[in-house]
Amino acid sequence: MDTLHFERYELKYFVPESLTDDIRRFVRPYVERDKNAIGKPGGRYAIHNLYLDTPRLDFYRSCQHDAIERMKLRVRWYDAEAEGPFFLEIKRKVRSVIVKDRVRVSRDELDALLAGGDRASQYYVARPELRDFVSSMSSTGAQPTIFVSYTREPYESIFGNYARITFDRAICFQDARGTSVRADPRVWCFIDASWATRGVQSATIIELKTTSAIPRWMSDLVAEFDLRRIGYSKYATSVQHRAESTWRALDTERIATGGR
């Protein structure tokens, strides 16, 4: 599918990895494995993102300040080699509703759009569905900022309207490298500090996603395991973790040099 638009609600929870088997057993009567994860080791696939932001990190700041309306721009792909296909995504949060628009592009199209210039204009004219993403980039001055990758174990409801539960693990980030979508496999930094996981050790992020009222099995799941909803953004936490790492490095340097 070349384009996609949807609106949904997302509820997020930190859960110790030791509980995930019990949670998986609890939801088994209501869900089936996402077809994209069938046959994958552990029923998981990798998700790779390149987030764009303004030089002042305005998208990050709006998330930190819990703005009523906010936006993220990102490129998403699923292969480790970063050969594509790629998906340009605009993810908006309007109060409690997530609105997501997604457009599939080739590697050549992506390279041109991120680089800008005449080649970008050619693709833009040829594919009007790219207009919103390119317009958002140009109007805000957004540029590649940070890579965020993780593994996802996804399940979809077998009853009623769209409902989905995912288990996200091994979340890591690194700084963007210009307009390249090839990350450096040697420099990933994992987001596992206790301040990032609210003190939960070996944390897995569980997300409950639905386009309408929360189904009964989701409500029962939350009650059964006493899950505590969190406000959490993988992108914002990565930016914050990068800042924390920088300050820790500076403190270490000051100590080593006697405070000079």
Confirm if 211 and 6 have CB atoms less than 8 A apart.
Answer: yes
Q: Which residues contact 201 (CB under 8 A, 6 or more apart)?
A: 16, 194
User: Does position 69 have pLDDT exceeding 50, yes or no?
Assistant: yes
Angle between helix axes 107-115 and 118-126 (nearest 10 degrees) is 120
Q: Which residues, at least 6 apart from 260, have a Cβ–Cβ distance to it below 8 Å?
A: 254
Q: Is 220 helix (H, G, I), strand (E, B) or coil?
A: helix
- 143-170 pLDDT per residue, tens: 999 999 999 999 999 998 899 999 999 9
The phi and psi torsions of 247 (rounded to 5 degrees) equal: -65, -40
Domain of residue 70, residue span: 3-256
Compute the distance between CA of residue 242 and CA of residue 75 in angstroms, rounded to an integer: 20
What is the domain-level CATH number for residue 246?
3.20.100.30
pLDDT 10s digits, 13-63: 999 999 999 999 999 999 999 999 999 999 999 999 999 999 999 999 999
Q: What is the pLDDT of residues 139-150, one digit of tens each?
A: 999 999 999 999
In this prediction, residue 10 carries a pLDDT of 96
Residue 129: the pLDDT is 86
For the chain, percent of residues with pLDDT exceeding 70? 93
pLDDT at 1: 62
User: What is the b/e burial string over 123-150, where b = at least 16 CB atoms within 10 angstroms of the residue's CB?
Assistant: bbeebeebeebbeebeebebbbbbbbbb
How many domains in the chain? 1
